[in-house]
Chain A
Amino acid sequence: MLAYILRRLLQSVVVMMVVALVSFSLFRFVGDPVSTMLGQEATVADREALRERLGLNDPFVVQFADFVTRAVQGDFGISYRLQQPVTDLILSRLPATLELAAISGIFAFVLGLGLGVYTALKRRGWLSNAIMTASLIGVSLPTFLIGVLLIWIFAVELQWLPSFGRGEVVDLGWWRTGLLTPSGRASLVLPAVTLGLYQMTLIMRLVRAEMLEVLRADYIKFARARGLSDRAVNFGHALKNTLVPVITITGLQLGSIIAFAIITETVFQWPGVGALFINSVQFVDVPVMAAYLVLIALVFVVINLIVDLLYYVVDPRLRADRGAAGH
């Protein structure tokens, strides 16, 4: 078990290095940071001097080695745009993104699971079909449009919910949360729904498909043949077996929730790392972009590991055999 985790961690380090290398080598193509950092009066000589100071003229290998050396110490340099240490910047924005991702993840999972189970059990019901069709609307329009439409309806027309930002946040010292104030919670609703809608649809369809498969399984038929109640069969047996693959894929979805937060955060002016990333792309703020991508990789690696461990807990077949199989 420990060896397994260690091996996984080692793999993760390799993955992160690759991500860092790939992302770092891509930045040379996204634009010239120097031209956005200097005002319009700057001369060619000024730009060249800044480029030299930033080390942008060094060979790629040197730049990358420097980046990695500092990155492993948690130092991603200074943001070209906001002139703050990137690590601080990201840490200060991370709570917003994580809260948004968590809430929308929970929303997606709970609703997706519930509706998925319902539509699987009532496969031929009209309500199931209606839910199945309606859920597709969520994946048939781009996220940004859904966000803007929600703002229009719920913030402008009905004025029920805020259109942007996080509301009042409470500083817990190392974490600023919007969950403790009414305005913070109200501000979460629209972005969380926008972000979670897509995942909700995916999870719901996945749950339904898996559940239909499971309901066909022999052991379900055998459970029925033993006279177990529908409740025990559907929720005790079928649901639990459905959850095994669902957990893996849902876990992976969490990573993409954080990535898709880029769009949601932009639309709702949500002060998270996604919006930070997009602004950084526009400004060619290389240190922030690099740190963000490494962070995403880290989040993914961690989620992956947790999912694997969870899988391990849920599915006894993966656990080490306690006794040899035999007659």
Chain B
Amino acid sequence: MTFDRLPKARRSAALLGGAAVALALGAASAGAETIRWARVGDALTLDPHAQNEGPTHALNHHIYETLVGRATDGTLTPRLATEWGIHPDDDTIWVFELREGVTFHDGTPFEADDVVFSLERAMAETSDMKGLHGAVESVEAVDEHTVHVQMEGPAPLYVQNLTNTFIMNREWAEEHDVEEPQDFAGGEESYAVRNANGTGPYTVAERDPEVRTVLEYFGDHWAETPEVSEIIYTPIAEDATRVAALLSGEVDIVQDVPVQDIQRLQETDGITVETGPENRVIFFAYDMGSDELQTANVEGNPFADPLVREAMHLALDRDAIRQVVMRGQSLPTGVTMPPFVNGWTEELDEYPQPDYERAQELLAEAGYPDGFEVTLHTPNDRYLNDEAISQAYVGMLDRIGIDVNLVSQTRSLHFPLIQNRETDFYLLGWGVPTFDSQYIFDFLVHSTEGARGGWNGSRYSNPELDQKIEALATETDLEARNEMIAEIWAQVQEDRVFLPVHNQLLAYAMREGISLPVHPENQPSMTDVSFED
């Protein structure tokens, strides 16, 4: 089989080419088809179902493919599925028509059975993707190119959950004993962690985790041939080093550009920066449900008082944060929902101008004329300038008399605080992979029970709203459903469950002559790269 041999031959050639490029530091676009791509962290694994995490998906999108894709404008696009929809006779079944003539990297043809296998694998106990497939009852291959997914009930938005669920090859997985994702308790490395056999546009030529990954174009890929034939992917953790690598010409594209460097990079000869909104909203949340706060110096729970919450809203100067902290790289918002998400409206997005006098009056009215003391938890390595945002808000709250202790720590210490309800007041960012409000309601608004409310650190609990949220999941009448979404948002906004700050803008900096649009989920595809010269 020719496609079996071809990649190997190309592989060694490309390795040499890669070496030459690496040697020719700063040389201008020598190998125009090779892209040297750097971002802050590496994919944790090549196993497509082992980690539900942005950088991992971003790399895997080059190697594996999903049934449906997400375009840079947020809409769904056909990928391995050419058509999809709810079964006309049974609203609990999703039907996917699969693309024909697709082969895996090892030459095996892609069939419906692979989809069945992959979805079942994604639902396995050790899969990190299983949360997105909780409503699936069974998957069935109707014929070679049609798959039926039987849901437990009506699931009008299920297809939105599929944009990061990759399709593997059943035979390959069985051959290498990777029918289930990595089990940490097992003590052995899964073959799929460093090896892959997908249908994606690139094959893995070299994989040295956290050091260097080389991908080569897969000649038999079904889509149009991309301009980039080779990708050298390097994680560079330090901001300054990453930017330096671009400035010195050692990499072509830098994905996680610190906001403060954007302007300077734009002004630098030979470098361009593309920016665009990310599907992620940054907000503060507070414990409004407990009787007592853990860190406050006053009796009772000031956050339970709507007046206090309103005062805190009025103290937040979103424009100043945008202007100074974010260097203009953010879209201030009044709602905890990125504009891509179904349910977003301009009215909801509006936000008040800060009014410190009014805020102080409200505090006094609420019985805190001298304010109170509380601790704010913030991550310092998760979102763009997360620590600086929190710090700025601490200053603003101080002005109205709320004395905030800022605790800034790494993500692995920060997030458990929210999950375990150990923080009164915290910063959180929320990406919405399904692009629908329900995802936000499920995790952030619904009372904590079962699979829902896991991130409801606000301890907000409204039984009436809970019912509506649950009803959303099975409402198939989209119009009625959107109405319900609007109602829920109205209540959430009225109760000021969150203190939204802004939506992040992403920035990709690259060598001049390259263009790469910003992807709302920060998962750029190198197939989208075009060269101008």
User: Residues of A at under 8 Å CB distance from B?
Assistant: 30-33, 35-44, 46-47, 49-50, 53-55, 75, 77-78, 80-85, 88, 92, 148, 151-152, 155-156, 159, 162-168, 182-183, 266-269, 271, 275-276, 279, 281-284
Name B161's closest neighbour in chain A (CB-CB). Answer: A41
Name B451's closest neighbour in chain A (CB-CB). Answer: A43
Name A166's closest neighbour in chain B (CB-CB). Answer: B211
Q: Tell me the chain B residues, 386-439 only, with Cβ under 8 Å from chain A.
A: 410-413, 415-416, 419, 431
Give A74 to B242 CA distance when docked, in angstroms: 35
Question: Does B187 contact A75, Cβ atoms closer than 8 Å?
Answer: yes
Minimum CB–CB distance for A208 against chain B, Å: 34
Q: Which residues of A contact B26 (CB under 8 A)?
A: 159
User: Residue B22 contacts which of A30, A39, A167 (CB distance < 8 angstroms)?
Assistant: A167
Q: Which residues of A contact B410 (CB under 8 A)?
A: 31, 281-282
In the A-B complex, the 8 residue pairs with the closest CB atoms:
A39-B52, A41-B131, A31-B412, A271-B211, A32-B416, A53-B185, A163-B244, A35-B416
Interface string of B226-247 (1 = CB under 8 A from A): 0000000011111011101101
User: Residue A268 contacts which of B51, B132, B241 (CB distance < 8 angstroms)?
Assistant: B241
With A40-B443, A168-B19, A268-B241 as contacts: A83 and B236 at CB distance below 8 Å: no
Name A278's closest neighbour in chain B (CB-CB). Answer: B237
Name B251's closest neighbour in chain A (CB-CB). Answer: A164
Question: Does A183 contact B443, Cβ atoms closer than 8 Å?
Answer: no
User: Residues of B at under 8 Å CB distance from A?
Assistant: 19, 22-23, 25-26, 41, 44-45, 47, 50-53, 125, 128-132, 182-190, 193-194, 208-212, 234-238, 240-242, 244-245, 247-250, 381, 410-413, 415-416, 419, 431, 443, 448, 450-451, 454-455
Q: Which residues of A contact B188 (CB under 8 A)?
A: 78, 85
Give A181 to B416 CA distance when docked, in angstroms: 45
Question: Does B413 contact A31, Cβ atoms closer than 8 Å?
Answer: yes
Give A50 to B419 CA distance when docked, in angstroms: 15
Minimum CB–CB distance for B22 against chain A, Å: 6
With A39-B128, A49-B125 as contacts: A275 and B249 at CB distance below 8 Å: no
Minimum CB–CB distance for B280 against chain A, Å: 11
Give A207 to B100 CA distance when docked, in angstroms: 74
Give A159 to B26 CA distance when docked, in angstroms: 7
Minimum CB–CB distance for A276 against chain B, Å: 7
Minimum CB–CB distance for B267 against chain A, Å: 15
Q: Which residues of A contact B131 (CB under 8 A)?
A: 39, 41-43, 46
Q: Which residues of A contact B210 (CB under 8 A)?
A: 82, 271, 275-276, 279
CB-defined A-B contacts under 8 Å, sample of 27: A31-B412, A36-B411, A37-B184, A41-B132, A41-B443, A43-B131, A43-B450, A44-B419, A44-B448, A46-B130, A78-B186, A78-B187, A83-B193, A84-B189, A148-B238, A151-B240, A151-B241, A152-B244, A156-B244, A156-B248, A164-B241, A164-B250, A183-B22, A267-B238, A269-B238, A279-B237, A281-B410
Question: Does A83 contact B44, Cβ atoms closer than 8 Å?
Answer: yes
Question: Does B184 contact A78, Cβ atoms closer than 8 Å?
Answer: yes
Question: Does B44 contact A159, Cβ atoms closer than 8 Å?
Answer: no
Q: Which residues of B contact A42 (CB under 8 A)?
A: 128, 131, 454
Question: Does B211 contact A165, Cβ atoms closer than 8 Å?
Answer: yes
Minimum CB–CB distance for B75 against chain A, Å: 22
With A84-B193, A183-B23, A282-B412 as contacts: A266 and B182 at CB distance below 8 Å: no
Minimum CB–CB distance for A287 against chain B, Å: 9
Minimum CB–CB distance for B372 against chain A, Å: 29
Give A81 to B415 CA distance when docked, in angstroms: 16
With A163-B241, A165-B211, A275-B237 as contacts: A35 and B415 at CB distance below 8 Å: yes
Name A53's closest neighbour in chain B (CB-CB). Answer: B185
Question: Does B128 contact A40, Cβ atoms closer than 8 Å?
Answer: no
Q: Which residues of A contact B22 (CB under 8 A)?
A: 167-168, 183
Give A54 to B185 CA distance when docked, in angstroms: 5
Question: Does B250 contact A40, Cβ atoms closer than 8 Å?
Answer: no
Question: Does A148 contact B240, Cβ atoms closer than 8 Å?
Answer: yes
Question: Does B248 contact A155, Cβ atoms closer than 8 Å?
Answer: yes
Give A77 to B194 CA distance when docked, in angstroms: 17
Minimum CB–CB distance for B377 against chain A, Å: 13
Name A47's closest neighbour in chain B (CB-CB). Answer: B419
Name A35's closest neighbour in chain B (CB-CB). Answer: B416
Minimum CB–CB distance for B60 against chain A, Å: 14
Give A33 to B448 CA distance when docked, in angstroms: 22
Question: Does B184 contact A54, Cβ atoms closer than 8 Å?
Answer: yes
With A35-B412, A159-B249, A183-B22 as contacts: A266 and B238 at CB distance below 8 Å: yes
Question: Does A162 contact B25, Cβ atoms closer than 8 Å?
Answer: yes
A sample of 16 more A-B contacts (CB under 8 A), given A82-B44, A163-B248, A269-B238, is: A36-B411, A39-B131, A40-B454, A44-B448, A46-B131, A83-B47, A83-B193, A84-B193, A159-B26, A163-B245, A168-B19, A266-B237, A267-B240, A269-B237, A282-B381, A282-B412
Q: Which residues of B contact A282 (CB under 8 A)?
A: 381, 410-412
Give A81 to B50 CA distance when docked, in angstroms: 10
Give A44 to B431 CA distance when docked, in angstroms: 19
Question: Does A83 contact B45, Cβ atoms closer than 8 Å?
Answer: yes
Minimum CB–CB distance for B143 against chain A, Å: 32
Of the candidates B52, B210, B448, B451, the one having the most CB atoms from chain A within 10 angstroms of its own CB is: B210
Question: Does A31 contact B194, Cβ atoms closer than 8 Å?
Answer: no
Name A76's closest neighbour in chain B (CB-CB). Answer: B187
Q: Which residues of B contact A32 (CB under 8 A)?
A: 412, 416
Question: Does A84 contact B209, Cβ atoms closer than 8 Å?
Answer: yes
Q: Which residues of B contact A41 (CB under 8 A)?
A: 52, 131-132, 443, 454
Give A237 to B242 CA distance when docked, in angstroms: 50
Question: Does A163 contact B250, Cβ atoms closer than 8 Å?
Answer: yes
Q: Which residues of B contact A40 (CB under 8 A)?
A: 52, 431, 443, 454-455
Question: Does B52 contact A53, Cβ atoms closer than 8 Å?
Answer: no
Give A283 to B411 CA distance when docked, in angstroms: 8
Question: Does B211 contact A159, Cβ atoms closer than 8 Å?
Answer: no
Give A78 to B186 CA distance when docked, in angstroms: 8
Give A61 to B50 CA distance when docked, in angstroms: 30
